[in-house]
């Protein structure tokens, strides 16, 4: 079972929650008219895989704390360790949406077009990308860089929607 992810930009958490309530947690990029500008991906989680991209951009070793994120969906308190979870527990079943920190958005937005091939080549070496070639991941880098640039220009935040 893979994790579906979508990165999108929005003006704020309340706008994201309104869309998720209306779509019952469905992807904000789904349907004929997506609710937000974004990029669909598979398995591109913020902490590890996106973190590997940020490490490649900043030319630093990857660390789980490179990308800071705040959960915005589901709403309400997370269940405690004694909670049984189960199929009715949105914290266990998803979907989940996190707000990505502005420093990550800005790191992506600042990548120059001429640097994208080198960033993609470095990112492709990440173990989590299973030996992908630079030309395989370069379009994703281009899309994320473009999305982050549009988000920064508009004063929007970046979000990640994830679902099993």
d(CA 53, CA 143): 13
How far is residue 32's CA from residue 75's CA, in Å, rounded to a whole number?
26
pLDDT at position 126 over 80? yes
Domain 4-163, second-level architecture: 3-Layer(aba) Sandwich (3.40)
Contact 11, 155 (CB under 8 A): yes
Q: What percent of the chain has pLDDT over 90?
A: 74
Least confident among 29-43, 53-67, 78-92: 78-92
| Whole-angstrom distance, CA of residue 47 vs CA of residue 160 | 11
Sequence spans of domains, the chain:
4-163
Predicted confidence (pLDDT) per residue in 6-22, tens digit:
999 999 999 999 999 99
Question: Rounded to whole angstroms, what are the CA distances from 30 to 11, 38, 82, 94, 118?
Answer: 18, 10, 35, 16, 31
């Amino acid at each position: 079972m893979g994790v579906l992810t979508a990165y999108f930009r929005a003006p704020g958490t309340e706008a994201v929650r309104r869309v998720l309530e209306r779509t019952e947690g469905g992807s904000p990029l789904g349907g004929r008219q997506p609710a937000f500008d974004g990029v669909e991906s598979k398995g591109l989680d913020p902490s590890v895989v996106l973190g590997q991209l940020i490490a490649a951009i900043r030319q630093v070793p990857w660390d789980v704390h490179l990308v800071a994120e705040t959960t915005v969906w589901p709403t309400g308190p997370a269940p405690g360790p004694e909670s049984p979870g189960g199929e009715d527990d949105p914290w266990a079943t998803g979907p989940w949406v996190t707000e990505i920190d502005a420093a990550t958005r800005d790191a992506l937005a600042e990548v120059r077009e001429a640097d994208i091939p080198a960033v993609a080549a470095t990112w492709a070496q990440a173990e989590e990308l299973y030996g992908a070639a630079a030309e395989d991941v370069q379009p994703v880098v281009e899309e994320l860089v473009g999305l982050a640039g549009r988000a920064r220009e508009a004063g929007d935040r970046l979000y990640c929607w994830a679902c099993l």
